[in-house]
């Protein structure tokens, strides 16, 4: 009986032990399942994030491709001297590297506090800019800032003590805000070339043109950390007149004027937008398009595939110095 009891007890103990073991095992399984769920969530969130990054990285080249196609089409259909091929926004990390570089430069630059000033006369002066008898040259660079080319342009301008005007794209300013600061701090005029340079987006109607102008203004203000900065000066992507979008452009010209925004084109160019050209070909085209004009607004481009512009720039500057021209930027007008 005792044995039986013991047996029973043992059996009972065994049952208890088994129950305990089952509980333990269930607990361990539950922990493992929980860990698997947590791990899966972690992996899933990682994968989603990567997907998101891939999508955003993928969007940019597609957008760029679309943009370049658009530009190329426009170049054929619209203006023979059409500007622009925007270099690729592909390396987002480059922004970080680049900011680093420019922190050093910023330490040595003078923090300017010059702001363009609204000027009623300015609109008239800009409209008549090509007809001035004064020997003057406005060096203008469109489509920047760019990672590699802008710093080289700025170095050359500094070596020659020449001030220029940069017609920047908001999308690029967002990528390279420190470069824009450097342009500004070194006394160059920051003017507006819209945000996207995507014609089908810009030229839907007059309001979308004005939206592009405003979006770029916001990018400039943020990059400079100066909410009071206003450029007052727009350069229409592809030029302010003619071509497929002339009707919209005409309405936009009027709208911009109503809002006190001037616009300007160019009367001289290096042709650096038209594919890969040699330095000498750029200089030759500059000379031919300049002709015997006294007042010159020279169009060049600031994008990563424009090394020819950097190569030609010192000779271009030297040419105008030798010819007795005064270098100007649009602070001369909006002051």
- Closest distance to Zn ion from the beta carbon of 67 (Å): 10
Looking at beta carbons only, is 157 or 169 nearer to Zn ion? 169
Report in angstroms how near the CB of residue 152 gets to Zn ion at its nearest: 19
Restricted to residues 276-305, the positions that interact with Zn ion (CB under 5 A) are none
Range in contact with Zn ion (rule: CB under 5 A) among 58-66, 82-90, 180-188, 310-318: 82-90
Q: Which is nearer to Zn ion, 102 or 298 (CB)?
A: 298
Q: Are strands 262-263 and 233-234 parallel, antiparallel or unpaired?
A: parallel
User: What helix, strand, coil percent values describe the chain, rounded to 5?
Assistant: 60, 10, 30
**Among residues 70, 74, 82, 83, the one that binds Zn ion under rule CB under 5 A:** 83
State yes or no: residue 87 binds Zn ion (CB under 5 A). Answer: no
Half-sphere exposure in the Cβ direction for 87 (13 Å, CA): 21
Q: How far is the CB of 127 from Zn ion (least distance, A)?
A: 21
Quick one: 83 or 183, whose CB is closer to Zn ion? 83
Measured CA to CA, the distance from residue 109 to residue 304 in angstroms comes to 24
Question: Beta partners for 63?
Answer: none
Q: How far apart are CA 217 and CA 231, in angstroms?
A: 7
Nearer to Zn ion, 83 or 212 (CB): 83
Size of the site for Zn ion (CB under 5 A): 5
Please give the helix or strand (H or E) that residue 269 lies within, else none.
strand 268-269
List of residues 6+ apart from 8 with CB closer than 8 A: none
Instruction: Considering the complex, state which of residue 166 and residue 184 has its C-beta at the smaller distance from Zn ion.
Output: 166
CA 110 to chain centre: 23
How many other C-beta atoms lie within 10 A of the C-beta of residue 2?
A: 7
Under 8 Å CB-to-CB from 267, ≥6 apart: which residues? Answer: 130, 289, 293, 295, 296, 297
Least distance in angstroms from the C-beta of 33 to Zn ion: 58
Q: How far is the CB of 299 from Zn ion (least distance, A)?
A: 9
84 binds Zn ion (CB under 5 A): yes
Cβ at position 199, least distance to Zn ion in Å: 10
In the bound state with Zn ion, the residue whose beta carbon lies nearer, of 294 and 304, is: 304
Give dist(CA 110, CA 104) in Å, integer. 12
Site for Zn ion in 128-147 (CB under 5 A): 142-143
Ranges within 212-251 binding Zn ion (CB under 5 A): 237
Nearer to Zn ion, 132 or 208 (CB): 208
Cα separation values, 15 from 8, 30, 185, Å? 10, 22, 84
Residue closer to Zn ion (CB basis): 143 or 285: 143
User: Minimum Å distance from CB 82 to Zn ion?
Assistant: 8
- Nearest residue to Zn ion by CB is 84
Q: Bridge partners of 165?
A: 140, 189
Stretch that binds Zn ion, among 3-11, 55-63, 80-88, 224-232 (CB under 5 A): 80-88
Could you say whether residue 272 binds Zn ion (CB under 5 A)?
A: no
Least separation, in Å, of the C-beta of 81 and Zn ion? 12
Nearest C-alpha neighbor of 169 from the set 145, 136, 135: 145
Compute φ and ψ for 163, nearest 5 degrees. Answer: -105, 140
The residue count of the chain comes to 335
Q: Which residues bind Zn ion (CB under 5 A)?
A: 83-84, 142-143, 237
């Amino acid at each position: 009986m005792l044995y039986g009891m013991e047996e029973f007890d043992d059996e009972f103990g065994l049952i208890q032990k088994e129950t305990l073991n089952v509980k333990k095992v269930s607990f361990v399984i539950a922990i493992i399942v929980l860990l698997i769920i947590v791990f899966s969530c972690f992996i899933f969130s990682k994968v989603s994030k990567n997907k998101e990054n891939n999508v955003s990285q993928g969007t940019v080249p597609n957008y760029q491709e679309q943009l370049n196609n658009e530009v190329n089409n426009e170049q054929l259909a619209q203006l023979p001297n059409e500007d622009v091929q925007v270099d690729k926004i592909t390396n987002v990390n480059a922004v970080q590297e680049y900011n680093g570089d420019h922190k050093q430069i910023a330490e040595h630059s003078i923090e300017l506090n010059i702001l363009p000033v609204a000027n009623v006369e300015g609109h008239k002066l800009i409209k008549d800019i090509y007809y001035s008898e004064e020997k003057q040259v406005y060096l203008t660079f469109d489509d920047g800032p760019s990672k590699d080319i802008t710093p080289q342009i700025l170095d050359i301008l500094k070596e020659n003590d020449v001030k220029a005007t940069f017609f920047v794209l908001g999308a690029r300013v967002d990528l390279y805000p420190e470069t824009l600061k450097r342009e500004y701090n070194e006394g160059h005029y920051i003017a507006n070339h819209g945000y996207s340079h995507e014609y089908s987006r810009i030229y839907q109607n007059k309001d979308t043109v004005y939206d592009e102008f405003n979006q770029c203004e916001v990018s400039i203000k943020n990059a400079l950390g100066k909410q009071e900065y206003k450029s007052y000066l727009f350069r229409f992507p592809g030029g302010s007149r003619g071509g497929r979008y002339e009707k919209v452009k005409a309405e936009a010209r009027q709208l911009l004027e109503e809002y006190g925004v001037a616009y300007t084109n160019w009367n001289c160019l290096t042709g650096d937008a038209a594919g890969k050209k040699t330095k000498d070909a750029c200089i030759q085209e500059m000379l031919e398009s300049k002709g015997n004009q006294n007042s010159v607004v020279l169009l060049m481009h600031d994008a990563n595939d424009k090394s020819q512009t950097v190569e030609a720039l010192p000779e271009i500057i030297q040419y105008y110095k030798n010819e007795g021209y005064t270098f100007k930027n649009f602070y001369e007008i909006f002051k």
